[in-house]
Structures are given as structure tokens and as C-alpha cells.
Structure 1
């Protein structure tokens, strides 16, 4: 198809379109909408492999032009996933598996969740090209929750439900007697040492760190 690095924007869009069409027809001679979920995954893998083998640089400008030129195509989301740091997360997570999620809430306080993964997706959000959405059902809860992780946020996920003494990790005991126990938080908002302390406390490697 030629060296994409030397192409102008119009030529790059044509190259990408041809690559995606080829990936689709190699899986099944039909349109994207008529592919099964398994077939769509095969197409995505083939398209990403083509990008990698041709050393294609994905820029915000290119993604913007793809969205404009191919509004009904899955190409833009595939490009976003290709460069997203969350791609490795989706490769490791498994539906209906138990997991321990360690992250900060929106106010910067540590959150540890024992949950069951129900689904996950990389999608644009606000001004960000990508964000990770994890659908999960927390332990002893009936409803499925949705947790969104933005590109600048940190996240650790452990396989299974890992027992963590959160009180021990998060607080220092200033005073304790038979009448009262006074505790002090070890961390300020969004203190990165919290995640490293959790990792050091648990005798198990995280399944995912972002």
C-alpha cells in the first residue's frame, strides 16, 4: 500500500480505509454490521497488526479526520484503542471473574473494591480520546456499577478477592487506650504512595497496573 509516513492526510485516510476493508473481507465477505462479536475481534486484531507492521503513527489530528471522514465506521475507536494505555487492561480482564480494584475516588481518597467484572470498554470521554469503563458487580451488591478511569488516573487490579487491611494501610494510630483510639490518615488526596504501599503489603503481583 506504500509508505504511509510519506503520505498526505487524504492518502493516509485512503490507506486506513483499505486496510480495514481488507481485514474485514479476510474474515468474512460482508459488512461490519453483520459480523459476529468474535469476527469483529479478529478484524480488530488484523487491523492493529497492519498498523504495527507498517509503523503507523496515530495522532489526534488523524483520529479527528477519521471521525469526520468515516462517521459510521469503527475505525476511529480501533485507532484510539490501538494507542490507548488501557488496551493491555482489556486484554487481561475476563468477564465474570473476581477482581480487587484499587484506585482513587473523584475526591482523591483510596478505594478498594471486591467485585466481579461484567464488562469493559475503551471509549472517548469529555476532552479525552480514551477512557476505560469497567462494568462490575461489587461483593454483596445487587446492581452492576460502572467505574470510569481517565488517562491520567492510576489503577491496580488484582486477580481474585484479595484481603487488605485498609484501616492499617490508611491510618496511623496516634493514641489508643481503653477509652478511645485516635487515628490519623497517612495520605493526602491523590497520594501516590498509597498504591505503592498497597503493592508492598500484598504478597501477590497485580494483574494490572496503569
Structure 2
């Protein structure tokens, strides 16, 4: 029987069997004893099963899963499957040097050289999903977390890329031996900032959200 034509109880049974099979194929132990790498393998395999069976993941289905399978990772996996961030997480690798570019709180580009340690998709405030990137910035000892919301702009490049931020942000309107006067190219949160950075780097981003 086609999944999308099943009643809710049959859908829950199908999902439960699918996830249980995937978990058993990765390691025969309880979920809490899985390593992060094993959990990632389970998620990828579960998503492939959803995709190959053309599963229509709806908000109603996710809510039913949350109610039926308390403590199970299934709901978060379903949320990630339909999230706009899902394509980004497929491109990210743990312990990889990356250049993260996004707007800071004042609306101007922030260039961050860092090492990505982990990433996840989870609900946040009024948003059904958000992307959380755990990373260790260059020359820092502690792991930081950067949260990206659905409406935000984001670019991630492989490796640490040096960028002349002053050239990206400002135009020189007056310069002589005594003074240099600069003016911001655009208003805050203007997408053209990120377009200019892409053109300046001239390398395809590993992941992009716009």
C-alpha cells in the first residue's frame, strides 16, 4: 500500500519499522549508545528510505510522531528532511575548515574562519526549524554555536578564505595625504553585500542560503 494513502496509525507503524531497521543495520545497540557518526549514518539512511518511497512529510505527521514516539529521534529527522536547511547540512563535514559568511546583528557581513564540529536542525522560538552550527573559530579554544534562522542569508566556503572586508563594505569618496573618507556601499542587510563577496572570491560556495 502506498504510504501517502495510509491512515495515520499505519503511517506511524511504517515509519517506526523503517527507522528500527536502519538503526539495526548500523549498530545493534540502544540509540543513547550511538556515536555522532553512527547517528549521522542512521539519519542519512532513513532519509534515503523516505525519498525512495516518496513519503509526504506533513506537519500533521510530525506532530503525531512527537506524540506517539516520545524520546525518539524520529521527529527531528522528519523535520530535517523537509527543512530548507537539509541541503546545507548534506554539504557540511565535521572537523572541516570553513569560512562562514552571514550578516551580523547590525546588518553587515561577518566573515568567520572556523572549524565545523557539529550541526543540527531544530525548532527555535516561533520557527519550525533553524540551523545550529557548532564550530571552533580560528585561534579560539572554545566551541561556539551559531544559529541561522530561515529568513537569514548564509554562505559557507570550504577552507579559510581571506577577504578584504573593507573593499566589500565601503567606497572611498575622498582621499588625500591627510584624510580618507569612506562610505558604506549599501544599507544594512542589503543582499548586494553577499553578491559582491561571491564575485570577489569567484569560487562556488560549499553551501548557500538566500
Q: Same fold (TM over 0.5)?
A: yes
What is the rounded CA distance, in whole Å, between the counterparts of 1:143 and 1:68 in structure 2?
A: 36
**Deviates most, 117-126 or 157-166:** 117-126
Shift of 1:27: 3.3
Residues 105-161 of structure 1: CA deviation (Å, up to 9, x unaligned): 233221111222222222221122221111222223333221111122111111111
Q: Provide structure 2 residue ranges, at least 5 long, that are not aligned to the other structure.
A: none
Specify the alignment match of 1:80 in structure 2: 79
1: distance between equivalents of 2:189 and 2:112? 17
2:182 matched to which residue of 1? 183
The corresponding residue for 1:91 is: 90
The worse-fitting range, judged by mean Cα deviation, of 19-28 and 181-190 is 19-28
After superposition, give the CA deviation of every residue in 1:66-123 in whole Å (9 maximum; x if it has no partner). Answer: 1111111110011011112222322322233221111112332211112222222222
Q: Mapping of 1:103-114 within 5 angstroms?
A: 103-114=102-113
Paired positions, count: 209
Q: Where does residue 59 of structure 2 map in the other structure?
A: 60
Tell me which moved more, 23-32 or 62-71. 23-32
Moved more, 73-82 or 178-187: 178-187
Cα deviation for residue 29 of structure 1 reads 4.0
Matches of 2:158 and 2:41, distance apart in 1: 26
**RMSD across aligned C-alpha pairs, in angstroms?**
1.8
1:130 aligns to what? Answer: 129
Deviation at 1:10, TM superposition (A): 2.4
CA distance in 2, matches of 1:4, 1:192: 41
Write out per-residue CA displacement over residues 17-43 of structure 1, whole angstroms, 9 at most, x where no aligned residue. 122122223334443334444433332
Output one character per residue of 1:168-206: Cα deviation in whole Å (capped at 9) or x when no partner.
Answer: 111111111122211111121211111111101113221
Matched residues in 2 for 1:34 and 1:117: separation? 23
In structure 1, the gaps of 5 or more residues are none
Matches within 5 A, 1:1-210: 2-210=1-209
Specify whether residues 28 and 167 from structure 1 end up closer, same or farther in structure 2 by C-alpha distance, changes over 3 A only: closer
- For residue 113 of structure 1, give the secondary structure of its aligned residue in structure 2: strand
SS at structure 2 position matched to 1:151 = coil
1:100 aligned counterpart, secondary structure:
strand
Structure 1 pair 41/115, CA: closer, same or farther in 2 (3 Å)?
closer
CA distance in 2, matches of 1:35, 1:100: 30
Q: Residues of 1 paired with 2:111 and 2:84: CA distance?
A: 22
Partners of 1:202 and 1:27 in 2: CA distance: 40
Aligned equivalents of 1:139 and 1:41: distance in 2? 25
